[in-house]
Structure 1
Amino acid sequence: MIDLYVYYKVREPDAAALAPRVRAMQAALAAGHRVAVQLKRRPGSKDGLQTWMEVYPGAPDGFEAVLAQAALDAGLDPLPDGPRRTEIFVDLKPELMPCA
């Protein structure tokens, strides 16, 4: 299992058009792949841009490719200002955690 974090910038005028597309994509992914989904954004904006983050905790290995195709199918590419950046995290094994 992995946790995926996808972040990107959104121009304020495009936010209203992008939000329903992302939510529909996430609903389809949640139903079809049994993944938890979250959509977040930083408070406020800077230079007319908002920072958004999609979170997929506990996703199966290989889900990154599924998500990339889903974003393409949902027509998300033209709306973010710049690339969608994906980060993958895994749980830290207990034996690797420092002792207190």
Structure 2
Amino acid sequence: MDCYIYFKMPDAKAVAVIAEVALLQQRLRALSPELQQTGMALQRRPDLKQGLITWMEIYREVPDNFEAQLRSALQHVDFPELQYAERHAEYFVDVVVCA
């Protein structure tokens, strides 16, 4: 299962967002050995809408207890001060497509 978390922030806070996501992902790796082997990424939309950037955190092959690990890791970063809008998490599973 993969987790995608998106949120919006003012363009002026882009450097702070990148730094906080780096800390968050470092903390998650420390909490979960499984996450050290899977992919983590941070993406952003290429365009601004009303001065806001839409950000996307991507966590591949998350463990069953990922939500608890994420809550714990978030206690060690400054996202609440950076947040313009709520963080939205969505989970997806791979589908085998037969031709």
TM bracket, shorter-chain basis: 0.7 to 0.9
The Cα of 1:52 is off from its aligned counterpart by: 0.3
Check conservation: 1:30, 1:37, Cα contact below 8 A.
Answer: no
How large is the Cα RMSD of the aligned pairs? 1.6
- How many aligned residue pairs are there? 95
Give TM-score, length-normalised by structure 1.
Answer: 0.82
SS in structure 1 of the partner of residue 78 of structure 2: coil
The Cα of 1:12 is off from its aligned counterpart by: 0.9
- Which residue, 45, 48, 54 being the options, matches 1:45? 48
The Cα of 1:31 is off from its aligned counterpart by: 3.9
- CA distance in structure 1 between the partners assigned to 2:75 and 2:87 by the alignment: 11
* Higher mean displacement: 53-62 or 13-22: 13-22
The Cα of 1:63 is off from its aligned counterpart by: 0.1
Runs (5+) with no aligned partner, structure 2: none
Alignment of 1:90 onto 2:89: no
2:53 maps to amino acid: Q
1:65 maps to amino acid: A
The Cα of 1:30 is off from its aligned counterpart by: 2.4
Larger radius of gyration: 1
Q: What residue in structure 2 maps to residue 54 of structure 1?
A: 57
Runs (5+) with no aligned partner, structure 1: none
Give TM-score, length-normalised by structure 2.
Answer: 0.83
Q: Give runs of ≥4 in structure 1 deviating > 4 Å.
A: none
Alignment of 1:63 onto 2:62: no
The Cα of 1:11 is off from its aligned counterpart by: 0.6
2:19 maps to amino acid: P
- CA distance in structure 2 between the partners assigned to 1:13 and 1:68 by the alignment: 26
The Cα of 1:25 is off from its aligned counterpart by: 1.4
Check conservation: 1:4, 1:64, Cα contact below 8 A.
Answer: no
